[in-house]
Amino acid sequence: MGQIASPDVKMDLQHRLRRIEGQARGVQRMIDEERDCKAILQQLSAIRAAATQASLVLARSYATQCLNGSSQQSVSDLVDELVGVLSKAG
On the question of pLDDT at 85 being above 50, the answer is yes
Give tens-digit pLDDT for 35-81.
999 999 999 999 999 999 999 898 888 887 777 764 566 777 777 88
**Residue 50: CA count within 13 A, CB half-sphere:** 19
Give tens-digit pLDDT for 15-33.
999 999 999 999 999 999 9
Quote the distance between the C-alpha of residue 34 and its chain's center: 29
Domains and CATH numbers, the chain: 7-89 (1.20.58.1000)
> What pLDDT is recorded for position 60?
85
DSSP structure string for 21-83:
HHHHHHHHHHHHTT--HHHHHHHHHHHHHHHHHHHHHHHHHHHHHHHHS---S-HHHHHHHHH
